[in-house]
Amino acid sequence: MRPEILFPLFAPVTSLKGVGPRVATMLEKIAGPSVVDLFWHLPVMMIDRRYAPSVADAPEGAIVTLEVRVDRHEKPHNRRSPYRVQCSDDTGFISLVFFSARDDYLRRILPEGQTRIVSGRVESYQGNKQITHPDHVVSVDKREKVEIVEPVYPMTGGLSAKVLGKAIAGALAQVPALDEWLDGPLVQQRGWPAWKTALESVHHPEEPTDLLPEAPARQRLAYDELLANQMALALVRRRMRQGRGRSIEGSGDLQAALENHLPYELTGAQRQAVDDITDDMATPKRMLRLLQGDVGSGKTVVAFMAALQAIEAGAQAVILAPTEILARQHLATLQPFCEALDVDIALLTGRDKGKSREAILSSVSDGTTQLLIGTHAVLEEDVRYHDLGLAVIDEQHRFGVNQRLALAAKGDNPVDILVMTATPIPRTLTLTAYGEMDVSRLMEKPAGRQPIDTRAMPDSRLDDVMAAVSRAINQGAQIFWVCPLVEESDALPVTAVEDRHRSLVAQFGEERIGLVHGRMKGADKDAQMQAFQAGEKSILVATTVVEVGVDVPNASIMVIEHAERFGLAQLHQLRGRIGRGAEKSTCLLLYDPDISETAKARLKVIRDTEDGFVIAEEDLRLRGAGELLGTRQSGLPAFRLVNLEAHAELLPMAHDDVALILEKDPDLQTPRGKAIRTLLYLFQRDEAIRFLGSG
């Protein structure tokens, strides 16, 4: 149960004064639905209104707070002209300019002959100073309300800074004094404020340096969030490894037979990973291993070897894939080997209904099916295994801890877990997302893989690309053509996949051009993919649904339109769809020449290297963790306060801190332990609390 002291923080934002349903919808869009979400919505800039020069000394472009006399109102003759209020002090004159203003309102707040405090940005018009729509106009006795530093927050359309500011102030008024969960010497050594002080401080910056991630208050809050993250992962790991163990040892016969059937030798890295997994599965503790491999490094074979070990031991294995396309591809890849090895394999997706689904479920529950491949469907309650020994989760970044737990609970005995990702993840993020796992990395590519010639060119050269594509398909090449949108958008002037499909059909004929995107029905997508894989289509026009796992060895050209709109890791994944056969492969990145420096840097990185781990580190440096995988469904923790580049040194500290805490206080029952329970609730890591004893 969440501690009572936190109840007000998890109340809806409508519990705050002045926040009705309309404002709540906008607050939820930028921060979240609860009061606590406003705590984590930090300012990105500040406006300093403490500068109060005379009118004569007020420089153009500066934000100033002036004390002025109101001399006269100049109402315009027509609505399109501005309303001017002429003001002065002993040193000079300044105009206050208003458009579409009501004169009764302006005369009330700026009465002629009286003195007012006015704050805004100074401009020059025809040699005269003016402030257009001042931010503040108050009487002299309210000067202290204006001469302040104002935080500037990320906003959304329709929400005013004033309304957001009041909502955040209302939220901060609810901040309770909580027991300290950090180690006293650490707080002292780093010069960090207490939690409540830090929270109030980040929302009331005094100097520009207070906005930096290195500021003590921001560092403190980032460490709190990292500590909650690392503690939650440690508790998950402990839970998954607890209880009676199970040793899964095979004879090695099926694995040896598979090696004889493979058309290539395993790489050294693959052999090492297989050895690690074999050893893990043989021990009585539950395996919890992450297999990281760059695009095309051969993770599927390693996972299949692990599955064969479970099958040799008389258990079953399941492979969970994030999309139906990938699940079907795994089936197509592994089925010939399963037939040769006399292993019973089946596929289960959301598309299986009625009697066909019942037949699959029956063969899984009675043990006939030894290897099950599927999508989220394999997690459903009515899927019962005869004796599940190994669960493999492919493209782990599409799933979270909860799916790992759901699969682990599927067996009557402890289930070994192997998770795989082809998205290379920097070491920093490996710790934050997979801190509870042992890690194997496949750093080599199988022999015979061709380097890919990657070129970036402005989209003005589209005609040249079309000509090159025409020559290539006449020579029998196959081409992926990727666009960022399904249909044309008014907001984004980028070529949509359906428009590009139409233009390529017009040029090359409908029979040669395929189309795949996320809004198509599963059966239609499969038919298009199968036609492309079978060589019936020369060009497959697609969105990023082809990003993961699609294997067409004959495809040797990848065209990516508006490459500047994709993340580095995403570009690397897309490029990995080619270079899988004997032909020399080329990746063409088309970009809008009017792009940011960061986008240029991204394209340079992807052009210069094919090493996914180098690319991932660069992506973290260039874009930060929030967008690292180019997808919001990353399964990575959604940090609100942590900037993983700026706060990288805090992560191992939090990791080590957690190990020490759990060694001394495994059930978090000491005063510090109980404070850490509150911290876990505060950062909504509630699922981890379930793995603790009572108290």
Q: Is 486 among the domain residues?
A: yes
Do 370 and 504 share a structural domain?
A: no
DSSP code per residue over 668-689: --SHHHHHHHHHHHHTT-HHHH
Residues 437 and 523 in one domain: no
Are both 421 and 378 inside the same structural domain?
A: yes
Give the burial string for 651-676 (b: 16+ CB within 10 Å, else e). bebbbebbeebbeeeeebeeebbbbb
Range of 10's domain?
4-46+153-211
The amino acid occupying position 594 is D
435 and 489 belong to one structural domain: no
Domain check: are 374 and 513 in the same one? no
| Beta strand 136-139 pairing with 115-121 | antiparallel
Type of residue found at 215: A
In a domain, 346, yes or no: yes
In a domain? residue 221 = no
pLDDT at 635: 40
First to last CA, the chain: 10
DSSP 113-177: T-EEEEEEE-EEETTEEEEES-SEEEEGGGGGGTSSEEEE----TT--HHHHHHHHHHHHTTPPP
> Is residue 473 located within the same domain as residue 392?
no
Residue 403, in any domain of the structure? yes
**Per-block average pLDDT, block size 10, for the chain (695 residues)?**
93 94 94 95 93 96 96 90 96 95 93 97 94 95 88 90 93 95 94 96 94 96 94 82 76 93 89 94 88 82 96 95 85 94 93 88 95 90 91 72 69 83 68 72 73 90 92 91 69 70 90 86 83 90 73 86 84 84 86 84 87 75 47 51 85 92 94 95 86 58
Task: Quote the pLDDT of residue 479.
Answer: 92
Predicted pLDDT at 488: 53
Residues 393, 375: one domain? yes
Partnered with residue 372 across adjacent β-strands are 318, 346
User: What is the SS3 assignment for 480?
Assistant: strand
Residues 578 and 457 in one domain: yes
State the Cα–Cα distance between residues 223 and 657, nearest whole angstrom. 11
Residue 58 in contact with residue 129, Cβ under 8 Å?
yes
Which of 396, 424, 442 corresponds to the end of one domain? Answer: 442
Show Cβ contacts of residue 653 under 8 Å, excluding neighbours closer than 6 positions: 186, 223
The helix/strand/coil state of 8 is helix
- Long-range (24+ apart) CB contacts under 8 A made by 19-28 are 19/167, 19/170, 23/159, 23/163, 23/167, 26/156, 26/158, 26/159, 27/159, 27/164, 27/167
Half-sphere exposure of 9 (CA within 13 A, CB side): 21
Domain boundary among 579, 609, 639: 609
Answer yes or no: do 26 and 122 share one domain: no
Residue 661 lies in a domain: no
Could you please report the per-residue DSSP string of 584-608? -EEEEEEE-SS--HHHHHHHHHHHH
Residue 463 near residue 474 (C-beta atoms within 8 A): no
Residues 198 and 340 in one domain: no
CATH number at 125 reads 2.40.50.140
Asked, for residue 498, whether it belongs to a domain, the answer is: yes
Whose tokens are 């020579």? That residue is 475
Contact partners, residue 652, CB within 8 Å, separation at least 6: 431
Please give the Cα distance from 253 to 187 (Å, whole number): 57
422 close to 293: Cβ distance less than 8 angstroms: yes
242's CB contacts (< 8 A; 6+ apart) are none
β-bridge pairing 63-74 and 115-121: antiparallel
Same domain, 132 and 169: no
Closest by CA position to 330, among listed 344, 313, 347: 347
H/E element, 537 = none
Answer yes or no: is 191 within a domain. yes
Listing DSSP states for 146-160 in one string gives TSSEEEE----TT--
**pLDDT in the model for residue 255:** 94
Mention every residue, 6+ apart, whose C-beta is less than 8 A from residue 643.
Answer: 213, 222, 624, 625
Same domain, 278 and 427: yes
Question: What pTM, to 2 d.p., does this model score?
Answer: 0.65
Q: What is the CATH number of the domain that holds 270?
A: 3.40.50.300
Q: How far is CA 671 from the centre of its chain?
A: 35
pLDDT at residue number 569: 77
Among 192, 211, 230, residue at a domain's last position: 211
561 lies in a domain? yes
Q: Look at the chain and report how many structural domains it folds into.
A: 4
3-state SS, residue 87: strand
Q: ∠ CA 209-210-213 to the nearest 5 degrees?
A: 85
